[in-house]
Amino acid sequence: MVRLRTNAWNEFGPFLVFDTEIRKIISTTKAIESVNARCRRAVNARGHFPTEQAALTCVYLTVMNLDPTGAGHKRWKKALNAFEMTVAGRLIPQIQLHTQ
């Protein structure tokens, strides 16, 4: 933390302005890397796919199996609320476009 403060405070300081829920989402690059690794592992385990659709199905099933209970969706409600307050009106129209 001391090295961070002395070497990269200009980049790290603005990060602290955001709400806690937003900081959790922003710092989930490791989670994204984990999803990529799981997909890569599933594809490599099967080797050759007869069609592109078969490969896409494998990736889809892998992603759907990451959180079979659906508990991950509950964590997003607070983050979406915090994002909406921070970016005021720029987020909700996009979400509505994707859900229709």
Instruction: Write down the mean pLDDT value for the chain.
Output: 73
Give 43 or 31, the one with higher predicted confidence: 43
- Average pLDDT for residues 17-26, to the nearest whole number? 69
pLDDT score recorded for residue 70? 62
Structure tokens at 73: 């969706």
pLDDT score recorded for residue 97? 46
Q: What is the pTM of this model?
A: 0.45
What residues does each domain of the chain span?
2-99
Instruction: Check whether 99 has a pLDDT greater than 80.
Output: no
Query: What does the alpha-carbon distance between residue 27 and residue 21 come to, in Å, rounded to a whole number?
Result: 10
Nearest to 40 by CA among 64, 62, 66: 62
